[in-house]
Amino acid sequence: MHTFFVAGTDTDVGKTIVSKLIIRQLNAKFGATLGIKPVSAGCELTPEGLRNEDALILQNESAIKVPYEVINPIAFEPAIAPHIAAQLVNKGITLDDLQKCLARASTYEPKYLLIEGAGGWRLPLNNEGLFLSDFVKDSKIKVILVVGMKLGCLNHAILSYQAILEDGLECVGWVANHLSADMPYLQENKETLLKTLGCPLIAEVPYQGGTNSTDDISTMHVNASFLQVFS
């Protein structure tokens, strides 16, 4: 089983979009994919329980079909930081909770397990110093970094990349998600990241017609390094 953690340089940079499109690429070439989102906030209360839009997308795209609870076992209704949402309902989040999520997903024996993060790299999970990145570090999972191409992306991308390395992890590639049609000096920003980040640009998601809906975005341009990362 090949396991990857999809991290973002910030919230709303397109982690779900990229995860969805990576899963589609892998399904077309290899099959046996499973995408999970262990922690989510901003869920809708349904007759089946709390459901997160991003997690539902991963469930729908995955080649291996599993119950929702395997995809997203830690879910909160308020669209706020998970550790604050957890406090509101008197529920703690532990490293063991996350490891159980990984173990349960692994029992379905996917060839590729894609784990979507929440927020940025240093997302707090409780007030005792636990971060979502601690789970990735403890599990020694390879990281794919999603960079939302916008003003400020250089600082966010470089700091995130450095933090991943300082945690002793391998950032195997980054994906440029274009968030607008007219980012000033887009090419210059991209060139800076190509020179600064010590991992390949494996894919780009072009700006697609003014929509930021995850359902409507369906195009991703992959580079040769994409197959190298996932082979």
**202, amino acid identity:** I
37 is catalytic: yes
Percent of the chain with pLDDT over 70: 97
Domain tally for the chain? Answer: 1
Full residue range of the structural domain in which residue 29 is found: 2-230
Q: Taking the model in full, what pTM does it have? A: 0.95
Q: Domain with 66 in it: what CATH number?
A: 3.40.50.300
Q: What pLDDT is attached to residue 52?
A: 97
One-character DSSP codes across 82-100 = HHHHHHHTT----HHHHHH
Residue 213 reports pLDDT greater than 60: no
- Looking at 22-31, 120-129, 207-216, which range is the least confident one? 207-216
| Distance in angstroms (rounded) separating the CA atoms of residues 146 and 230 | 16
Cβ pair 115, 38 in contact under 8 A: yes
| Distance in angstroms (rounded) separating the CA atoms of residues 15 and 206 | 14
Cβ pair 57, 18 in contact under 8 A: no
Task: Identify the active-site residue in 15, 20, 37, 150.
Answer: 37
- pLDDT tens sequence across 56-115: 999 999 999 999 999 999 999 999 999 999 999 989 899 999 999 999 999 999 999 999
